[in-house]
Homo-oligomer: A and B are copies of this chain.
Amino acid sequence: MSAPTIDQPTTTATGPGPVREGAFGNARSLVCRECRHEVDLGPHYACPECFGPLEIAYDFPVVTREEIAAGPRNIWRYKALLPVPTDIEQSPNTEPGFTRLLKATNLGAELGIDNLWVKDDSTNPTNSFKDRVVACALSAARELGATTFACPSTGNLANAVAAAGARAGIRTVVFIPSNLEQPKQVNSAIFTDQLVAVNGNYDDVNKLASEIAGEEEGWAFVNVNVRPFYAEGSKTLGYEIAEQLGWRLPDQIVIPVASGSQLTKVHKAFQELIALGLVEDKPYRVFGAQATGCSPVSIAYKAETDAIRPVKPDTIAKSLAIGNPADGIYVLDICRESGGAVEDVSDDEVRAGIVLLARTEGIFTETAGGTTVAVTRKLVETGQLDPALETVVINTGHGLKTLDAVSGIVSAAATIEPSYDAFRATGLGA
């Protein structure tokens, strides 16, 4: 095994050298999403022919529901459908996934949706869906012989990479903007003594990461040079929803859109399950959710154009604040072709969405989840989402990480002296 190097999109990448047999499971190659050109599996992310994004192509064997059900209670139950080796459970990782799919009767009543579910990824090991993608990136890093595991991030990804790297016992370096709030720094620094604060914004940090990936030997940046492997982890959200519904697809699904990767991968997961005969082929509508302060995909959707113009983010939904979303065009395709839509909501609506989900279902979501709930409400109100159809909403992260977003709008109902009389005076008695 040799070390991964920076992608060389101007040549046909052939991988970093020999890897062990079965290192990537049933994955066959990297295929360009645009021109379908295939290259060998390796630390590459852009097509050498057309610069389009590379994603994993597979030669799937027959996969049965029973085989999956007999697997572990985490994402590795779907290992046959991921670019990971068959012995993936043997190598230390955070064992994410198989999170709750909750019937959301109360929220459904509030939104006017008859049959609503919430897929709650806030209970993952580091409290966001990023644990799924990072687990797949970690496997690729390991199989490619990487010696350093790394990412640029402002939040959830940093937590997930730092935790996974610690558990795997691989050197882990996480790059963050130096002005990041101290609690968020602690939540990564707790896992690694190699947290690097960079004087600059996220774009500066990201640029530095790409430079390091190009210069240093053996660095696997989860969202740069092993991105195709990383992104596949989001498919497990789709697999789990289908399995937890009793091996069937929902009629409608609402997914937050940052880069757009998660939405495209959930759709890919549904398509794979249909192709493998694991679920019945049926139509489903895919909806994308953005915050108005960073809604380039929603803007393009509403303008009925494919041209996504980058925006400068200005929203409290920071985990969705990607102004130039790499997979935005594919989000548009999927939402349009499936009969879905892309919608956006204001920051006040995001806050209200957080409180609504907490008060109705006991789930404390971060701003991304507030966005998704608020968009779902708007989709019903505008007639874009059919309230009579079975609908799944994805909650991607935990409110403890974005406490500031709601700390001004929820508080104690009363402050009293410690006496029964004082309590009675509040009117809160039965």
Contact = CB atoms under 8 A, between A and B. Distances in A.
A417 interface: yes
Contacts of A430: 147-148, 216-219
A206 to B, nearest CB: 10
A106 B364 contact: no
A185 interface: yes
A63 interface: no
A312 interface: no
A8 interface: no
A106 B167 CA distance: 7
A95 interface: yes
Interface stretch (A193-201, A277-285, A287-295): A193-201
A303 to B, nearest CB: 34
Interface stretch (A12-20, A252-260, A399-407): A399-407
Contacts of A361: 166-167
A211 interface: yes
Contacts of A212: 420, 423, 429
Q: In the complex, which range does the number of interface residues on chain A fall in?
A: 35 or more
Contact of A199 (B208, B410, B416): B416
A227 to B, nearest CB: 20
User: Does more than half of chain A's interface fall in helix, strand or loop, or is it mixed?
Assistant: mixed
Nearest to A101: B95
Interface in A340-393: 354-355, 358-364
A309 interface: no
Contact of A412 (B106, B176, B415): B176
A362 B94 contact: yes
Contacts of A419: 208
A109 B282 CA distance: 51
A414 B178 CA distance: 10
Given A73-B98, A125-B100, A197-B415, A186 B407 contact: yes
Contacts of A315: none
A376 B215 CA distance: 43
Contact of A364 (B187, B195, B211, B355): B187
30 contacts: A120-B125, A123-B124, A127-B127, A127-B400, A163-B358, A163-B363, A164-B362, A173-B428, A182-B407, A185-B412, A186-B403, A186-B407, A189-B410, A190-B358, A190-B359, A190-B399, A190-B410, A191-B359, A193-B410, A194-B413, A195-B412, A196-B413, A196-B428, A199-B417, A205-B418, A208-B418, A211-B420, A216-B430, A400-B400, A400-B401
Interface of A: 73-74, 92, 94-95, 98, 100, 102-103, 105-106, 120, 123-127, 147-148, 162-167, 169, 173, 176, 178, 182-183, 185-187, 189-200, 204-205, 207-208, 211-212, 215-219, 354-355, 358-364, 398-401, 403, 406-407, 410-420, 423, 426, 428-430
